[in-house]
Structure 1
Amino acid sequence: MPQQLFDPADVQKTFSMLTVDSHNTTLLNEISLRASVDDELSFGPFPPGYHFVRAENRIAGIPNEHFELALVNEITKEIVYYNRVIYQKDAFLNYMPVTQILIWRSPKPSHRGVLRDLPGKVFSQYLLEKYNVIITDRHQTRDGMSFWQSRLYDAIASGHHLYAYDMITCEMRPIMKDSDIGNQVDWLWGDEEHHQNRLAIISKFPLPAVY
């Protein structure tokens, strides 16, 4: 069984902290001075006052190498988008994919314009372009499942390589066309214990990787 990467209760705690203004400001102060990655993004530019930052291995309690991405607004002094990403090496895949384990967006209407389609753009135009392979995390809400299914359809349209993958048995099921996504949903997502070991993969090249 792969190591538990985070406590699902911690996700709700983090969501609550980001929603409460004072806690949001605390996190802002901790990461706002980290390296800006605005110049690395193929999308944008953002409206005045917004910029994108990245923090490396800031959280001591996460055993994996990780980074955080945040869209901050310097005018209102708040984080409006937050994404926590881990590296998750897999010997069978012969690669080290990245996994988004926590994504949050501000519910405030003043930020809806800049946040529209941002999670999908970060996924496809930053993470996939930079790291080549992205896999699902082992604990997903219904929103997370819906988000990933949308990315799978996008990836097929873009000509990427998609798989349904069991980390224990190393079974890999290629996803070649739109109908394959629907056929693999019940295999990938569910409440049974074995579903924790089944992941969707989007890759820019065939897997397992060959060097």
Structure 2
Amino acid sequence: MPKRLLDPEKVNEVFAHLNESSDNHALYSSLVEGTDITNQIKGLVLSPGYRMVRVDGRLGEWISQSHFELALINDVSKEVAYYNRVVIQPDVVLNCRPVTQILVWRIRTPQHRAVLRDLAGKVFFDYLIERYNVIVSDMNQTTDGMAFWQDRMYDALAYNMHVYAYDMISCELRKILTQGDVSRQEIWLWGDPEHHQNRLAIISKNELPLQ
């Protein structure tokens, strides 16, 4: 899975610009007319001023795949508090159209912490999995991103979902059945620099490959 973004400059390039007020406000302006999906996420209750929005296909000049953006925006401060860029990538071996979160970011300022608590997990299970059935990890992972995926794998097992480790080159699909399996497969997914860009974690509502 997942190539770690260990280079501090690379991590900064991918994420840090959203902490700048001008860049954050520019992103807010780009997303503010998006479809309000707050009521489509089961159990999501937001404080006044916040909305969860979705924008489809805005980045077609840079992203060739079908894609969409999810964001938690605050219409009072005109800020983006949470941002998730998602691509849809068909896989003929798995016989499905899984989605991949290729950039997930949240603001660090204290006034937004309460509303952000557990939000990433709710978006993952109560929106993405509910609508697309299969989520595959991104090959470019920060340390935080890998920890997030490990947490979601444990959660998925508790929810009786299907969890896998998958090699895109060999098409080897390893089923993960227990918490111990998660720990054992972490090295296979993340630990080998020669192979980690080709190895992905998968969480699915249905057993794979789909028939």
Segments of 5+ residues of structure 2 without an aligned counterpart are 1-6
Take 1:182 and 1:14, find their aligned partners in 2: how far apart are those partners?
Answer: 28
Q: Which residue matches 1:4?
A: none
Alignment RMSD: 1.4
Q: 1:191 to 1:173 in 2, by over 3 A?
A: closer
Take 2:74 and 2:57, find their aligned partners in 1: how far apart are those partners?
Answer: 22
Tell me, what secondary structure is at the counterpart of 2:123? Answer: helix
Tell me, what secondary structure is at the counterpart of 1:58? Answer: coil
Q: Which residue matches 1:108?
A: 109
Segments of 5+ residues of structure 1 without an aligned counterpart are 1-7
User: In the alignment, is the contact (CA less than 8 A) between 2:11 and 2:142 conserved in 1?
Assistant: no
TM-score, normalization by structure 1: 0.93
TM-score, normalization by structure 2: 0.93
User: In the alignment, is the contact (CA less than 8 A) between 2:101 and 2:137 conserved in 1?
Assistant: yes
Q: Which structure exhibits the higher relative contact order, with contacts defined as CA atoms closer than 8 Å and separated by 6 or more residues?
A: 2
Of 140-149 and 38-47, the range deviating more from structure 2: 38-47
Take 2:18 and 2:192, find their aligned partners in 1: how far apart are those partners?
Answer: 28
Q: Which residue matches 1:82?
A: 83
Take 2:144 and 2:86, find their aligned partners in 1: how far apart are those partners?
Answer: 17
Residues paired across the two proteins, number: 203
What's the offset of the Cα at 1:14?
Answer: 4.4
Q: Which residue matches 2:98?
A: 97
Take 1:33 and 1:78, find their aligned partners in 2: how far apart are those partners?
Answer: 13
Take 2:11 and 2:132, find their aligned partners in 1: how far apart are those partners?
Answer: 24
Q: Which residue matches 1:25?
A: 25
Tell me, what secondary structure is at the counterpart of 1:137? Answer: coil
% identity of equivalent residues: 51
User: In the alignment, is the contact (CA less than 8 A) between 1:34 and 1:53 conserved in 2?
Assistant: yes
Of 14-23 and 93-102, the range deviating more from structure 2: 14-23
Q: Which residue matches 1:149?
A: 150
What's the offset of the Cα at 1:13?
Answer: 2.8
Take 1:50 and 1:96, find their aligned partners in 2: how far apart are those partners?
Answer: 30
User: In the alignment, is the contact (CA less than 8 A) between 2:41 and 2:122 conserved in 1?
Assistant: no
Q: Which residue matches 2:54?
A: 54
